[in-house]
Structure 1
Amino acid sequence: MTERRARRKPGENRARLVQAGLHEFGLYGYQGASTARIAARAEVPQPHVYTNFTGKPELFLACLDEALDRVHTRDTALLAAAELLIYQALATALDPDHGAVIRHRLADVLTPAHRDQIVLAAASRLARGELLGE
């Protein structure tokens, strides 16, 4: 008989999915990220993605909000992942379906100088092959 895992606290699966999404969206961008990989990384059954979020767009925006908060507060936990996700969000900002919302969220938090600093840091990490432990 298999052992059951301990029951998680309310909101814990959502938090785990956002943390996993920071990595997946940062590494693969919006189009390349998979909700199945995000769920697996979060150690959450995939149906829980859709219990906590209406779909991939809402999960991406929740991850973007978390990334912007971490960068704004200079929270060093997952800062590299946050910067990579913002880098990917800048590319996704041109998407006709989701771009307007993303541009609005980025403009609310990032100054042009701060945006440029994040892009340079993320591009440097990618060029050096620092892919968040992948």
Structure 2
Amino acid sequence: MARHKPAAEGGYQRGEETRARIIEAAVAVFGERGYEGASTRDIAAAAGVNAPAIQYYFDGKEGVYLQCVEQLIEFLWLRMGEPVEAAEKALLEPNVDDGQLIEATLDILGAVISLIEDKAVVWREFLDCHQEGFRLQSAATLFETKFKVRVGGVIRVLIARLAGLEVQDERAIIHSMALFTQGLAFRAQRSKLLTALKWSAINEKEMQLVRDVVLTQARFTLEGLARSK
């Protein structure tokens, strides 16, 4: 793991400010060029620091990339933490009904869809590169253990409970992946969405329209699963 040092000449506060500036620049550079295409020199130039600063604060490119992933996870939990925690709490309730489980599932999916909004553009681009293979195994493991396992796990339990299946049933796994992919698809196909709808941007109004349509379709699916028990 990268070292965490303050700048020798500027004290702890200045060191923290420099680290934050480097991470902010690195997120943009990695998002544009991927891990392999980015260099520490590119990141340093974007951050307005000397190239050795990357080594000093992060032990090189891998270290700064891992810190970017940590920041990405924090950003995603700000968006998704509340609905995930609410779903986990609902699943512990002995008298929870299918309607409550459906709403909990839709709240998580809605949080995923919100990532298509333009104010999330820098993190969206970084995440897209991360998922498309521009990543280290160490970063993939970090993202898996600190984010994907928990989110994927709660969605799978929700689906299994609604459909009357065991959590490890292949059908529960496929249903949960299919549902989650509905939210991810619009982020991956964002440019096609803009072209098809003749939108120049996706702000709150546009995001809400996409969210409403996708959640309506997802609700039909979830209600159908519940009826199939």
- TM-score by length of structure 1 reads 0.69
Contact 1:68 1:86 in 2 (8 A): no
Matched, 1:58 2:99: no
5+ residue gaps, structure 1: 1-6
User: 2:19, 2:181 → 1: CA distance?
Assistant: 27
| Aligned twin of 1:117 | 183
5+ residue gaps, structure 2: 1-9, 80-116, 153-176, 195-199, 201-229
For 2:44, the aligned partner's letter is A
Residues 1-33 of structure 1, C-alpha deviations (whole Å, 9 max, x = no match): xxxxxx571211111110001101111111111
Number of residues of Structure 1 aligned to a counterpart in Structure 2: 123
Look at both structures and tell me which one has the larger radius of gyration over its CA atoms: 2
Contact 1:72 1:109 in 2 (8 A): no
For 1:50, the aligned partner's letter is Q
CA deviation after TM superposition for structure 1 residue 117, in Å: 3.4
Matched, 1:38 2:43: yes
| Aligned twin of 1:4 | none
Contact 1:35 1:46 in 2 (8 A): yes
| Aligned twin of 2:124 | 83
CA deviation after TM superposition for structure 1 residue 46, in Å: 0.6
Are the structure 2 counterparts of residues 105 and 58 from structure 1 closer, same or farther at C-alpha, using a change threshold of 3 Å? farther
- The root-mean-square deviation of aligned C-alpha atoms, in Å, is 3.5
- TM-score by length of structure 2 reads 0.44
Residues 64-112 of structure 1, C-alpha deviations (whole Å, 9 max, x = no match): 11122123213x9x62111111111112377567544444344256546
Instruction: Please give the secondary structure, in 2, of the residue aligned with 1:11.
Output: helix
Percent of residue pairs identical? 21
User: 2:53, 2:135 → 1: CA distance?
Assistant: 29
Bigger mean CA deviation after superposition, 49-58 or 100-109: 100-109
